[in-house]
Amino acid sequence: MALTNSQYDTIMRIYEQKRLRTHDLLTRRYNEIYEQIPRIHEIDNEISHLGVANARALIDGNTDAPAQFRRQLHALTVEKEALLLASGYPADYLEPDYECPDCQDTGYVDGRKCRCFQKAEIDLLYTQSNLTDILKSENFSTFRMDYYSSDYIDAVSHKSSLDMAKEAFTVCRSFSDHFGSEFQNLLIYGSTGVGKTFLTHCIARELMDRIHSVIYVTSSQLFDLLGNREFGTNQQDRQAGALLDDCELLIIDDLGTELTNSFTVSQLFICLNDRILQKKSTIISTNLSLNEIKSIYSERTFSRISSNYRLLRLVGDDIRIKKKLMK
Protein backbone atom coordinates (compact mmCIF):
# COMPACT_ATOMS: atom_id res chain seq x y z
CA MET A 1 0.00 0.00 0.00
CA ALA A 2 1.41 3.38 -1.04
CA LEU A 3 0.41 6.84 0.11
CA THR A 4 0.25 9.65 -2.38
CA ASN A 5 3.12 12.12 -2.13
CA SER A 6 0.89 14.75 -0.54
CA GLN A 7 -0.45 12.25 2.02
CA TYR A 8 3.06 11.10 2.89
CA ASP A 9 4.21 14.71 3.23
CA THR A 10 1.23 15.43 5.52
CA ILE A 11 2.24 12.63 7.90
CA MET A 12 5.93 13.56 7.84
CA ARG A 13 5.06 17.18 8.69
CA ILE A 14 3.23 15.87 11.75
CA TYR A 15 6.39 14.00 12.81
CA GLU A 16 8.49 17.11 12.24
CA GLN A 17 6.14 19.09 14.49
CA LYS A 18 6.44 16.39 17.16
CA ARG A 19 10.23 16.58 17.08
CA LEU A 20 10.16 20.39 17.25
CA ARG A 21 7.88 20.23 20.30
CA THR A 22 10.21 17.72 21.95
CA HIS A 23 13.23 19.92 21.18
CA ASP A 24 11.52 23.05 22.54
CA LEU A 25 10.47 21.26 25.73
CA LEU A 26 13.98 19.87 26.25
CA THR A 27 15.52 23.32 25.70
CA ARG A 28 13.22 24.84 28.32
CA ARG A 29 14.10 22.07 30.76
CA TYR A 30 17.84 22.56 30.25
CA ASN A 31 17.49 26.31 30.81
CA GLU A 32 15.49 25.63 33.97
CA ILE A 33 17.97 23.07 35.34
CA TYR A 34 21.07 25.17 34.51
CA GLU A 35 19.54 28.01 36.50
CA GLN A 36 18.42 25.84 39.42
CA ILE A 37 21.45 23.50 39.54
CA PRO A 38 24.55 25.21 38.02
CA ARG A 39 26.72 22.16 38.72
CA ILE A 40 24.79 20.25 36.02
CA HIS A 41 25.81 22.88 33.48
CA GLU A 42 29.41 22.30 34.53
CA ILE A 43 28.97 18.53 34.19
CA ASP A 44 27.60 18.87 30.64
CA ASN A 45 30.58 21.03 29.71
CA GLU A 46 32.92 18.45 31.21
CA ILE A 47 31.21 15.68 29.22
CA SER A 48 31.61 17.72 26.04
CA HIS A 49 35.31 18.29 26.73
CA LEU A 50 35.75 14.60 27.53
CA GLY A 51 34.35 13.65 24.13
CA VAL A 52 36.80 15.93 22.35
CA ALA A 53 39.72 14.66 24.46
CA ASN A 54 38.74 11.05 23.74
CA ALA A 55 38.66 11.69 19.99
CA ARG A 56 42.12 13.26 20.11
CA ALA A 57 43.49 10.38 22.19
CA LEU A 58 42.19 7.87 19.66
CA ILE A 59 43.84 9.79 16.82
CA ASP A 60 47.10 9.73 18.79
CA GLY A 61 46.78 5.94 19.12
CA ASN A 62 45.95 5.75 22.84
CA THR A 63 44.13 2.40 23.06
CA ASP A 64 43.24 2.94 26.73
CA ALA A 65 41.29 6.10 25.95
CA PRO A 66 37.83 4.53 25.27
CA ALA A 67 37.76 2.64 28.58
CA GLN A 68 38.91 5.70 30.50
CA PHE A 69 36.33 7.82 28.71
CA ARG A 70 33.52 5.40 29.62
CA ARG A 71 34.53 5.40 33.30
CA GLN A 72 34.65 9.18 33.49
CA LEU A 73 31.39 9.55 31.56
CA HIS A 74 29.63 7.08 33.85
CA ALA A 75 30.82 8.94 36.97
CA LEU A 76 29.58 12.28 35.62
CA THR A 77 26.25 10.78 34.54
CA VAL A 78 25.69 9.25 37.97
CA GLU A 79 26.47 12.59 39.62
CA LYS A 80 24.10 14.38 37.27
CA GLU A 81 21.22 12.00 38.01
CA ALA A 82 21.88 12.25 41.75
CA LEU A 83 21.71 16.05 41.59
CA LEU A 84 18.41 15.92 39.71
CA LEU A 85 16.89 13.49 42.21
CA ALA A 86 18.14 15.52 45.18
CA SER A 87 16.41 18.60 43.77
CA GLY A 88 13.09 16.78 43.26
CA TYR A 89 13.40 16.09 39.52
CA PRO A 90 13.17 12.68 37.82
CA ALA A 91 16.52 11.19 36.87
CA ASP A 92 15.53 11.27 33.18
CA TYR A 93 14.23 14.86 33.28
CA LEU A 94 16.83 15.97 30.71
CA GLU A 95 16.11 13.09 28.31
CA PRO A 96 13.93 13.68 25.21
CA ASP A 97 10.26 12.95 25.91
CA TYR A 98 9.24 11.22 22.67
CA GLU A 99 5.60 10.51 21.92
CA CYS A 100 6.73 7.20 20.40
CA PRO A 101 9.93 5.89 22.01
CA ASP A 102 10.20 3.10 19.43
CA CYS A 103 11.02 5.41 16.51
CA GLN A 104 11.82 8.55 18.54
CA ASP A 105 9.14 10.38 16.52
CA THR A 106 10.82 9.77 13.16
CA GLY A 107 8.16 7.35 11.89
CA TYR A 108 10.70 4.66 11.04
CA VAL A 109 12.55 1.88 12.89
CA ASP A 110 15.47 0.24 11.05
CA GLY A 111 14.21 1.61 7.75
CA ARG A 112 10.68 0.25 8.21
CA LYS A 113 7.50 2.09 9.07
CA CYS A 114 6.94 2.23 12.82
CA ARG A 115 3.60 1.08 14.20
CA CYS A 116 2.81 4.71 15.02
CA PHE A 117 3.29 5.58 11.33
CA GLN A 118 0.89 2.78 10.39
CA LYS A 119 -1.64 4.20 12.83
CA ALA A 120 -1.15 7.66 11.29
CA GLU A 121 -1.91 6.13 7.87
CA ILE A 122 -5.15 4.72 9.19
CA ASP A 123 -6.10 7.99 10.83
CA LEU A 124 -5.47 9.75 7.52
CA LEU A 125 -7.00 7.26 5.09
CA TYR A 126 -9.72 5.77 7.28
CA THR A 127 -11.17 8.26 9.74
CA GLN A 128 -12.01 6.93 13.19
CA SER A 129 -13.56 10.15 14.45
CA ASN A 130 -16.95 8.46 14.70
CA LEU A 131 -15.46 6.15 17.33
CA THR A 132 -13.45 8.69 19.33
CA ASP A 133 -16.34 10.11 21.38
CA ILE A 134 -17.79 6.64 22.04
CA LEU A 135 -14.49 5.35 23.44
CA LYS A 136 -14.47 8.11 26.06
CA SER A 137 -17.52 6.51 27.69
CA GLU A 138 -17.20 2.87 26.61
CA ASN A 139 -14.00 1.34 27.95
CA PHE A 140 -12.86 -1.19 30.52
CA SER A 141 -13.19 1.27 33.40
CA THR A 142 -16.87 1.90 32.64
CA PHE A 143 -17.93 -1.70 31.97
CA ARG A 144 -20.63 -2.61 34.51
CA MET A 145 -21.45 -6.10 35.73
CA ASP A 146 -24.71 -5.06 37.39
CA TYR A 147 -26.47 -5.27 34.01
CA TYR A 148 -25.98 -9.04 34.11
CA SER A 149 -28.00 -11.37 36.31
CA SER A 150 -26.90 -14.41 38.26
CA ASP A 151 -30.49 -15.68 37.93
CA TYR A 152 -30.48 -15.67 34.12
CA ILE A 153 -29.20 -19.17 33.24
CA ASP A 154 -28.10 -20.03 29.73
CA ALA A 155 -29.79 -23.21 28.50
CA VAL A 156 -26.73 -24.31 26.49
CA SER A 157 -23.82 -23.74 28.87
CA HIS A 158 -25.86 -23.75 32.10
CA LYS A 159 -23.88 -20.70 33.19
CA SER A 160 -25.45 -17.49 34.44
CA SER A 161 -25.47 -14.30 32.40
CA LEU A 162 -23.22 -12.74 35.06
CA ASP A 163 -20.66 -15.57 34.97
CA MET A 164 -20.48 -15.45 31.17
CA ALA A 165 -20.00 -11.66 31.24
CA LYS A 166 -17.21 -11.98 33.82
CA GLU A 167 -15.46 -14.58 31.69
CA ALA A 168 -15.79 -12.46 28.53
CA PHE A 169 -14.50 -9.37 30.33
CA THR A 170 -11.47 -11.28 31.67
CA VAL A 171 -10.64 -12.71 28.25
CA CYS A 172 -10.97 -9.30 26.55
CA ARG A 173 -8.81 -7.66 29.19
CA SER A 174 -6.18 -10.37 28.74
CA PHE A 175 -6.40 -9.97 24.95
CA SER A 176 -5.52 -6.27 25.36
CA ASP A 177 -2.79 -6.86 27.94
CA HIS A 178 -1.00 -9.47 25.81
CA PHE A 179 -1.61 -7.87 22.44
CA GLY A 180 1.53 -7.92 20.35
CA SER A 181 3.16 -10.72 22.30
CA GLU A 182 0.44 -13.35 21.69
CA PHE A 183 -1.52 -13.88 18.47
CA GLN A 184 -5.22 -14.10 19.35
CA ASN A 185 -8.59 -13.64 17.65
CA LEU A 186 -12.03 -13.29 19.25
CA LEU A 187 -15.57 -14.07 18.17
CA ILE A 188 -18.08 -12.45 20.53
CA TYR A 189 -21.61 -13.63 19.83
CA GLY A 190 -25.02 -13.54 21.46
CA SER A 191 -28.40 -11.84 21.34
CA THR A 192 -28.99 -8.13 20.80
CA GLY A 193 -27.97 -5.65 23.48
CA VAL A 194 -25.88 -7.89 25.76
CA GLY A 195 -22.61 -5.89 25.57
CA LYS A 196 -20.77 -7.40 22.60
CA THR A 197 -20.03 -4.08 20.90
CA PHE A 198 -19.19 -2.47 24.26
CA LEU A 199 -16.45 -5.06 24.82
CA THR A 200 -14.99 -4.45 21.36
CA HIS A 201 -14.96 -0.72 22.18
CA CYS A 202 -13.05 -1.50 25.38
CA ILE A 203 -10.34 -3.33 23.44
CA ALA A 204 -10.21 -0.65 20.72
CA ARG A 205 -9.74 2.11 23.30
CA GLU A 206 -6.99 0.22 25.12
CA LEU A 207 -4.98 -0.58 22.00
CA MET A 208 -5.43 2.79 20.30
CA ASP A 209 -4.13 4.44 23.48
CA ARG A 210 -1.01 2.28 23.11
CA ILE A 211 -0.52 3.48 19.51
CA HIS A 212 -1.57 0.19 17.89
CA SER A 213 -3.19 0.47 14.47
CA VAL A 214 -6.87 -0.47 14.83
CA ILE A 215 -9.55 -0.42 12.16
CA TYR A 216 -13.11 -0.64 13.47
CA VAL A 217 -15.83 -1.31 10.90
CA THR A 218 -19.40 -2.55 10.77
CA SER A 219 -19.89 -5.54 8.50
CA SER A 220 -21.47 -3.30 5.85
CA GLN A 221 -18.46 -0.95 5.93
CA LEU A 222 -16.13 -3.95 5.73
CA PHE A 223 -17.62 -5.21 2.50
CA ASP A 224 -17.72 -1.71 1.03
CA LEU A 225 -13.97 -1.44 1.74
CA LEU A 226 -13.31 -4.89 0.31
CA GLY A 227 -15.31 -3.96 -2.80
CA ASN A 228 -13.37 -0.72 -3.20
CA ARG A 229 -10.11 -2.61 -2.82
CA GLU A 230 -11.07 -5.00 -5.60
CA PHE A 231 -12.94 -2.74 -8.01
CA GLY A 232 -12.49 0.87 -6.86
CA THR A 233 -11.30 3.50 -9.31
CA ASN A 234 -10.55 6.06 -6.59
CA GLN A 235 -6.99 5.75 -5.22
CA GLN A 236 -7.95 6.72 -1.67
CA ASP A 237 -10.74 4.12 -1.60
CA ARG A 238 -8.30 1.45 -2.76
CA GLN A 239 -5.77 2.49 -0.12
CA ALA A 240 -8.40 2.42 2.62
CA GLY A 241 -9.33 -1.12 1.58
CA ALA A 242 -5.67 -2.16 1.58
CA LEU A 243 -5.35 -1.04 5.21
CA LEU A 244 -7.55 -3.99 6.18
CA ASP A 245 -4.50 -6.17 5.56
CA ASP A 246 -1.98 -3.86 7.20
CA CYS A 247 -3.67 -2.88 10.48
CA GLU A 248 -2.59 -4.67 13.64
CA LEU A 249 -6.18 -5.24 14.77
CA LEU A 250 -9.32 -5.43 12.62
CA ILE A 251 -12.64 -5.24 14.50
CA ILE A 252 -15.75 -6.30 12.55
CA ASP A 253 -18.93 -5.27 14.34
CA ASP A 254 -22.36 -6.79 13.74
CA LEU A 255 -21.42 -9.46 11.24
CA GLY A 256 -24.62 -10.62 9.56
CA THR A 257 -26.32 -7.24 9.20
CA GLU A 258 -24.91 -6.72 5.68
CA LEU A 259 -26.58 -7.83 2.45
CA THR A 260 -25.07 -11.27 1.95
CA ASN A 261 -24.17 -12.61 -1.47
CA SER A 262 -21.47 -14.75 -3.10
CA PHE A 263 -19.04 -11.79 -3.10
CA THR A 264 -19.36 -11.10 0.63
CA VAL A 265 -19.05 -14.80 1.47
CA SER A 266 -15.87 -15.26 -0.57
CA GLN A 267 -14.33 -11.94 0.52
CA LEU A 268 -14.92 -12.66 4.22
CA PHE A 269 -13.04 -15.94 3.91
CA ILE A 270 -10.16 -14.30 2.05
CA CYS A 271 -9.96 -11.42 4.55
CA LEU A 272 -10.02 -13.64 7.65
CA ASN A 273 -7.74 -16.29 6.15
CA ASP A 274 -5.14 -13.74 5.03
CA ARG A 275 -5.06 -12.16 8.48
CA ILE A 276 -4.64 -15.55 10.13
CA LEU A 277 -1.73 -16.38 7.82
CA GLN A 278 -0.12 -13.00 8.57
CA LYS A 279 -0.85 -13.43 12.30
CA LYS A 280 -2.80 -10.15 12.37
CA SER A 281 -5.52 -10.24 15.03
CA THR A 282 -9.23 -9.91 14.25
CA ILE A 283 -12.28 -9.51 16.48
CA ILE A 284 -15.79 -10.27 15.24
CA SER A 285 -19.03 -9.45 17.05
CA THR A 286 -22.32 -10.85 15.81
CA ASN A 287 -25.92 -11.61 16.78
CA LEU A 288 -25.70 -14.81 14.72
CA SER A 289 -25.46 -18.23 16.30
CA LEU A 290 -22.57 -20.52 15.40
CA ASN A 291 -24.87 -22.61 13.18
CA GLU A 292 -26.05 -19.46 11.38
CA ILE A 293 -22.46 -18.39 10.76
CA LYS A 294 -21.74 -21.79 9.25
CA SER A 295 -24.89 -21.71 7.13
CA ILE A 296 -24.46 -18.13 5.81
CA TYR A 297 -20.69 -17.89 5.32
CA SER A 298 -19.82 -21.49 4.40
CA GLU A 299 -18.28 -24.42 6.19
CA ARG A 300 -14.70 -23.43 5.37
CA THR A 301 -15.09 -19.92 6.81
CA PHE A 302 -16.65 -21.33 9.95
CA SER A 303 -13.82 -23.86 10.19
CA ARG A 304 -11.22 -21.07 10.09
CA ILE A 305 -13.09 -19.16 12.80
CA SER A 306 -13.74 -22.11 15.10
CA SER A 307 -10.13 -23.31 14.93
CA ASN A 308 -8.40 -19.90 15.21
CA TYR A 309 -10.72 -17.77 17.38
CA ARG A 310 -11.59 -17.73 21.06
CA LEU A 311 -15.40 -17.99 21.13
CA LEU A 312 -17.17 -15.84 23.72
CA ARG A 313 -20.93 -15.99 24.18
CA LEU A 314 -22.98 -13.39 26.03
CA VAL A 315 -26.58 -13.83 27.12
CA GLY A 316 -29.11 -11.87 29.12
CA ASP A 317 -31.66 -9.11 28.86
CA ASP A 318 -31.19 -6.19 26.47
CA ILE A 319 -28.96 -3.74 28.38
CA ARG A 320 -30.20 -0.78 26.33
CA ILE A 321 -33.75 -1.44 27.50
CA LYS A 322 -32.49 -1.81 31.09
CA LYS A 323 -30.73 1.56 30.86
CA LYS A 324 -33.89 3.25 29.66
CA LEU A 325 -35.91 1.70 32.48
CA MET A 326 -33.28 2.77 35.04
CA LYS A 327 -33.44 6.36 33.76
Say which CATH number the domain at 241 has. 3.40.50.300
Q: Based on the domain organization, do 301 and 276 belong to the same domain?
A: yes
Q: What is the pLDDT of residue 1?
A: 44
Q: Based on the domain organization, do 16 and 160 belong to the same domain?
A: no
Instruction: For the beta carbon of residue 200, count every other beta carbon within 10 angstroms.
Output: 23
Residues pairing with 290 in the sheet:
none
In a domain, 302, yes or no: yes
88, 112, 136 - which closes a domain: 112
Q: What is the pLDDT of residue 255?
A: 95
Q: Based on the domain organization, do 93 and 134 belong to the same domain?
A: no
Look at residue 254 and tell me whether its pLDDT is greater than 50: yes
Cα 110 from Cα 23, distance rounded (Å): 22
Question: Model-level pTM greater than 0.85?
Answer: no
> What is the rounded average pLDDT of the residues 309-324?
86
Question: Can you list the positions of beta strands (E) in the chain?
Answer: 108-109, 112-113, 186-190, 214-218, 249-255, 281-286, 310-314
Burial class of residue 14, CB neighbours in 10 A (0-12, 13-18, 19+): middle
Give me the domain span that covers residue 267: 126-326
> What is the rounded average pLDDT of the residues 85-98?
94
Q: Based on the domain organization, do 67 and 181 belong to the same domain?
A: no
Tens-digit pLDDT profile for residues 171-199: 999 999 999 899 999 999 999 999 999 99
In a domain, 305, yes or no: yes
112, 137, 160 - which closes a domain: 112
Q: Based on the domain organization, do 204 and 280 belong to the same domain?
A: yes
In a domain, 117, yes or no: no
In a domain, 12, yes or no: yes
The total number of structural domains in the chain stands at 2
Tens-digit pLDDT profile for residues 5-45: 777 888 999 999 999 999 999 999 999 999 999 999 999 99
Percent of the chain with pLDDT over 90: 61
C-beta of residue 175 within 8 angstroms of C-beta of residue 298 = no
Nearest partner of 46 among 78, 79, 73, judged by Cα: 73
Look at residue 47 and tell me whether its pLDDT is greater than 50: yes
55, 81, 112 - which closes a domain: 112
Q: Which residues neighbour 208 within 8 Å (Cβ) at sequence distance 6 or greater?
A: 119, 128, 135, 214
Q: Based on the domain organization, do 94 and 147 belong to the same domain?
A: no
C-beta of residue 232 within 8 angstroms of C-beta of residue 238 = yes
Cα 30 from Cα 49, distance rounded (Å): 18
